[in-house]
Amino acid sequence: MPENVSTMPAPAVISFERVSKHYDGVRTLDGVTLAVAEREFLAIVGASGAGKTTLLRLINRLTDPSEGVVRVEGEDVRTLDPIVLRRRIGYVFQNIGLFPHMTVAENIAITPRLLGWDAASRAARVDELIDLVRLDRARHRDRLPHQLSGGERQRVGVARALAARPRIVLMDEPFGALDPITRDALGRDVRGLHDALGLTTVMITHDALEAVLLADRIVVMRDGRAIADGTPHALLAADTDPYVRELMQTPRRQAERLHELIAGPRP
Amino acid sequence: MTSGLDARIGEALARLPDYLGGHVRVSMTALALGIALSVPLALVSLRRPAFRAIVLALSSVVQTIPGLALLALFYPLLLGLAALSMRAFGVSFSALGFLPAVLALALYSLLPVLRNAVTGLTGIDPAIREAALGVGMTRRQALWMVELPLALPVIMAGIRTAAVWVIGTATLSTPIGQASLGNYIFAGLQTQNWVLVLFGCVAAALLALAVDQLLALIESGLGARRRGRVIAGILGIGLIVVGALAPGWSQPKARYLVGAKTFTEQYIIAALIAQRLQAAGLSAARREGLGSSVILDALAANDLDVYVDYTGTIWANDLHRNDTKPRAEVTAEVARWLKERRGITLLGGLGFENAYALAMPRKRAEALGVRTIGDLARVAPRLAIAGDYEFFSRPEWAAIRAAYRLTFRTQRTMQPEFMYPAAASGDVDVVAGYTSEGRIAQYDLVVLDDTKHVIPPYDAVILLAPRDANDRALIDALRPLVGAIDVELMRAASLRATSAAGDRSPDAVARWMWDQIERKSGTR
């Protein structure tokens, strides 16, 4: 793959070409065109019902488009076996989605197991990942999900997504159910892993501040369309669309207020 | 009294290996079949709501059919199938006992397992299902690795319910010829041996309880991921099955099967026939408590070898005759019909008749001035009559009513054992009893004369299965019984079997009868 990258004009790892999706006459995506570059951390923000999750599910074929083409690493996903495709893409679920009857180790090792790894390499990989997501081998390895805290559970969710060494990771509101401190810590860890492992990450969030702090690039969705696309800096400065301005105002105001507080009272 | 109780418990224990083995075999096979059917049905119906509704509705309907009726319905069904398979493939199978009982009980176990499997599988969090697909499982992998393990505790609860139902209902497989703990209950009811009835009930309840607790152990082991408990539960059930079936493996299978219907006289005669066969060196086993409609078909299908029926019964039920003829002519016609239409050999009469007869308490009859059935017509509208389960739907009853223009105030259906006490105590005025029963004399009833000869003769006759028509050894062993039992001897034997004192098991009474028969032939 690297030699391809060097000989071609840097192809997008994930691309949407005029993709639409409708269920029973209701349009949830409306002609979205979008490309995600290699090693990019893309955040998709928008209100619920804006089409964020549908967009994510199209990438690993949990759903198929009504119109348009979705490509992963240059290939039209409709030509790929969905099972094989999903096994090479990590997925972190909104409500964590750990299998309640499997231990932490079994949950993490699930995709390697489906890929037919032997028990020894699975066990080694589980240990590696438990360290990577900052859990404790002795304390957590053989626990069941219900015995863990919310933050620990989502760390397992992240470890599971990374287990089969995917190059692409999809995250659907991964930190939505967590308290602010856990959320911040896990967010920073995920960004760290993204950089260290050279991943291409697409993360859905409805929290603009989270998007601003973690992502390289933000796409704003509204009513099934991508209405803005740019770096956090660009979007914070943008003054075009009222909805985008409204959305970006919250982190800006928070930042300004914090800035004031840190500076201390004016003399 | 204590020695009598000991004897009865001893008698019950002696038959435990046979009955418990039969019970475990039939209920465990039915349960396994029920699970094997209902879990796939639940899986197929998961994504087909319309199909699911139909399957659940049908299995609910099955549940509303009384167990006894469901079991009885499977016998003619399988008999038809056996005949079809004989014609189509040249292979036949026994429609008596095991097969119909297993199928009916399996149907019975369908609902609880199916319903719980559907509940368990549809109750899984959609997010978990989505996650299973998201990590790259195929549909099949999602089912086996995630959905079934998560639904398993609920499915196990359904299996427990089904196990208790099946083990309880299996006691009703006696009338279709499957040996079970129900044999105790049916035989005990017939001979008013309450120790036997209780023994059967307690044994079935203990078995159900043991299986339920072992399944509970497996269920909790699955829920808590404790492999030890699951293995212990499975081992326990395996132990019950092996323990119940092992005595049967060591016993050689009997060559001849002697049938008996569901009343005292039949139990005694079956015991007598089995004893005669054994005395002649032939191995014999008994299938008792068979339904009246099942037993003749079973004989014709070679599922039984020999039993005693009554000419009048076959005359009315199978030849569909409602006229009557002299005894010898009825016997000859019945014998001819049996040979030609069913291949059955009528070996000969035992020497007594067991006819339906209308009887009244002596004092009541004298007070009303009733001596014949004709006399009844006058007073019948004020009287109540009791009969057994089949009497009021039999052609003889229609013929009696038509010939004598009888209309009773009420007619009540009763277990024969309770009919006579009911008449003696005045709860009913007239009973449709049996002439060979000792209790007509015991309760001081008088038999009303059938002056118009409407009721056909009911000679007790030995019938042989088609495959035994030319079996010299069998025929020689049975020949001494032909003409050997007069109605007095039969009455005395029946009375003995239902009296409170001494060893009154059918086997003991049959031995006593043979003594009497030998003594009489010695003096002759």
pLDDT tens readout for residues B444-492: 888 888 888 888 888 999 999 999 989 899 999 999 999 889 888 998 8
Q: Token pair of A144, please? A: 């069941």
Q: Looking at chain B, which residues constitute the CATH 1.10.3720.10 domain(s)?
A: 2-250
Task: Give start-end residues of each CATH 3.40.190.120 domain in chain B.
Answer: 356-447
Closest residue of chain A to B141, computed from CA coordinates = A114
Of the candidates A85, A68, A89, the residue with the CA atom closest to the CA atom of residue A77? A85
Residue B13 burial (C-beta neighbours within 10 Å; 0-12, 13-18, 19+) = exposed
Six token digits for residue B191: 């001979």
C-alpha to C-alpha distance for A20 and B407, rounded to whole angstroms: 84
Does B134 sit within 8 Å of A62, measured CB to CB? Answer: yes
pLDDT greater than 80 at residue B377: yes
Ranking A126-130, B127-131, B172-176, B233-237 by mean pLDDT, the lowest is B172-176
Q: Mean pLDDT over residues B281-293, rounded?
A: 84
Local confidence band at B514 (pLDDT 50, 70, 90 cut-offs):
very high
Which CATH homologous superfamily contains domain B264-351+465-523?
A: Periplasmic binding protein-like II (3.40.190.10)
Confidence (pLDDT) at B48: 85
Every domain range in chain B assigned CATH 3.40.190.10: 264-351+465-523
Shortest Cα–Cα distance, A40 to chain B (Å): 22
CA distance A173 to chain B (A): 14
CATH superfamily of B356-447: Osmoprotection protein (prox); domain 2 (3.40.190.120)
CB contacts < 8 A, A to B, total: 53
Beta partners for residue B447, in sequence order: B359
**Is the CB of residue B9 less than 8 Å away from at least one CB of chain A?**
no
Residues 6+ apart with CB under 8 A from B41: B55, B110, B114
CATH code for B2-250?
Answer: 1.10.3720.10
Greater confidence, B252 or B116? B116
Record: contact B134-A83, CB cut-off 8 A: no
Measured CA to CA, the distance from residue A154 to residue A173 in angstroms comes to: 11
Question: Is the Cβ–Cβ distance between B450 and B434 less than 8 Å?
Answer: no
Residue of chain B minimizing CA distance to A84: B136
pLDDT score of B14 more than 80: no
Contact call for A101 and B150, based on CB within 8 A: yes
User: Distance (Å) from the C-alpha of residue A263 to the closest C-alpha of chain B?
Assistant: 46
pLDDT band at B167 (very low <50, low <70, confident <90, very high): very high
**Which domains does chain A carry?**
1-88+198-262 (3.40.50.300), 89-166 (no CATH)
Q: What is the largest CA-CA distance in chain A?
A: 68
Q: What is the pLDDT of residues B223-254, one digit of tens each?
A: 777 788 889 999 998 988 888 877 766 666 77
B150 to chain A nearest CA, in Å? Answer: 7
| Yes or no, beta carbons of A101 and B136 under 8 Å apart | no
